[in-house]
A and B are shown apart, each in its own frame.
Chain A
Amino acid sequence: MAAKRTSRRQFLKTAAAGAALLPLPAIAQGAGGRVVVVGGGFGGASCARFIKRIDPRITVTLVEANPTFIACPFSNGVIAGLRDLKAQEFGYDKLAADPVVLQLSPGTAIDPQGRTVTLGNGTRLPYDRLVLSPGIDIRWDGLPGYTEAAAERMPHAWKAGEQTLLLRRQLEAMEDGGTVVMSAPANPFRCPPGPYERASLIAYYLKTKKPKSKLIILDAKDAFSKQRLFQNAWKALYPNLEWVSLSSGGKVTSVDVAAMTLVTDFGRHKADVANVIPPQKAARIAELAGVADRTGWCPIDPATFESKLQPNVHVVGDASIAGAMPKSAFSANAQAKVCAAAVAKLLAGGSPDEPKLINTCYSLVAPDYGISIVGVYRPADGQIKEVEGSTGVSALDAPSSTRALEATFANDWFKTITNEVFG
């Protein structure tokens, strides 16, 4: 380690003497600079790891409130009784070995001028660059009647954990012949195909366990991700599933928790089990850092993911406004790696490359029936845009063997990505 540092110093000397072309490192003190990453999900944990891999001299600290991460992808399978919540849980031990410094305490304040993050445990961490990957918060003021207390009766289950189990228990406790009502929000929100995968797997549960029951999805949209694929599958598999679009009166305008009722402009829907997927925004720490705009989300530079509102602060994952890229775990992981490369380059005084990113999102319509949407993206005109011809969904007329193969690939993806991020 010491020998390495000496040789680097020699290089610096030689460089200073010989080549004026050389960009000087932006960071004078410390070896490679200090990066703090807030949020230990698919975006934050990936970013912390890759910064360290790209330039081991950088000191990387990961700030996360919970010692165990509970993954949202595949949590719809937990709701439908197809898998255990344990299969969604991951720890940070392997990151500590990288070594990423772990601070298991919530970030409570950020001073972008002084470049410090304050934690719930009182620690103040200085940074040269900060990466925020905080995920989402529910807009508790976004749907009249839907409060934190209401979510105990009508779970959102849009952050995996106790809410996921609550919705599962409610479905298990429901009598056969009951009505499940879901509501899906307007764009943008975490995991665009998520409500429809969830509806599919709840319908699968009802079909196999409670066949006299029905499921209604009240939607604040007229169109959604993988729509024709989902609708074709529902027609074939789930006759008791009804989707009510925005223009058919599907937008939920309030909820009446005491009456277990979801209210639209066109009527009231009484539920035995209600799953309200409410409007969302970037998690609170983004607001505290001053990187969220009036939309509640965080505008970023499409090449570096640096905030357009605060210098030296980068935002990846669901909280960012990533143009054509959906708010998915795959996107967050891909963005995190691009951001890690950019942060390392910037700290070393270089200029980051124009990146290219991929997203792949699988949804399960049934345990052996998978569908996908993919896209390749690049910065263009100050935004992240699709590369023409790269975007699309699974073939509409594929045979069941292809659907089964995509279900296998979906499971493989979950194993691979969680291993890359946490393994």
Chain B
Amino acid sequence: MNATRVVTAVALVFTLTGHASAAGPADAPHGALSCSGCHPADRTAQTTVPRLIGRNPADIVAAMQAFKSGQTPATVMDRIAKGFSDDEVKAIAAWYGAQKD
């Protein structure tokens, strides 16, 4: 009963604060919104930097781990990856994976 009420309350808070979509900017986990400074949101963008939107979260997590360990050579991602914990990377990957165009 209490649990149900909490769940309802959480759902209401989400609605009230505009958290209607599961993958909107309002739900972005820590750091995720910084990524789009380089990784384009726009599908038509012509850049060498890959898009993150709609990618398989497991692939993002694996890439970040490989950057962090130095297994994949990188220009900036080796340093950026070291700024995030495994849990943070997982949350960011899940959020980008859930976003649709």
Interface residues of A (CB under 8 A from B): 8, 11-12, 14-15, 18-19, 21-23, 25, 32, 50, 53-57, 330, 333-334, 337-338, 340-341, 344-345, 348-350, 353-358, 360, 372, 374-378, 387, 389-392, 394, 402, 405-406, 408-409, 412-413, 415-417, 419-420, 423
Q: How far is the CA of A357 from the CA of B36 in the complex (A)?
A: 12
Measured CB to CB, the nearest residue on chain A to B18 is: A55
> Measured between C-beta atoms, what is the minimum distance from B68 to chain A in Å?
9
> Interface code B32-45, partner A: CB below 8 Å = 1, 0 otherwise?
01111111111001
B8 and A18 contacting across the interface, CB-CB below 8 Å: yes
Cβ of B60 within 8 Å of any chain A Cβ, yes or no, is no
> Hey, which chain B residues are within 8 Å of A405, CB to CB?
75
Interface residues of B (CB under 8 A from A): 5-6, 8-9, 12-13, 15-18, 24-26, 28, 30-31, 33-42, 45-49, 75-76, 79-80, 82-84, 88
B16 and A8 contacting across the interface, CB-CB below 8 Å: yes
A50 and B25 contacting across the interface, CB-CB below 8 Å: yes
> Measured between C-beta atoms, what is the minimum distance from A182 to chain B in Å?
27
Given known A-B contacts A18-B8, A345-B17, A360 and B80 have beta carbons under 8 A apart: yes
> Hey, which chain A residues are within 8 Å of B33, CB to CB?
50, 334, 337-338, 341
Given contacts A22-B9, A344-B18, A412-B48, 6 further A-B contacts (CB under 8 A): A50-B33, A337-B25, A341-B28, A355-B31, A356-B30, A416-B39
A360 and B16 contacting across the interface, CB-CB below 8 Å: no
Given known A-B contacts A390-B82, A416-B45, A14 and B37 have beta carbons under 8 A apart: no
A416 and B38 contacting across the interface, CB-CB below 8 Å: yes
B36 and A412 contacting across the interface, CB-CB below 8 Å: no
Measured CB to CB, the nearest residue on chain B to A54 is: B26
> Hey, which chain A residues are within 8 Å of B46, CB to CB?
415
> Measured between C-beta atoms, what is the minimum distance from A37 to chain B in Å?
16
> Hey, which chain B residues are within 8 Å of A408, CB to CB?
48
> Measured between C-beta atoms, what is the minimum distance from A340 to chain B in Å?
8
Q: How far is the CA of A256 from the CA of B30 in the complex (A)?
A: 50
> Hey, which chain A residues are within 8 Å of B38, CB to CB?
360, 409, 412-413, 416-417
B49 and A54 contacting across the interface, CB-CB below 8 Å: no
Partner pick for B16 among A25, A54, A394, A409, CB 8 A cutoff: A25
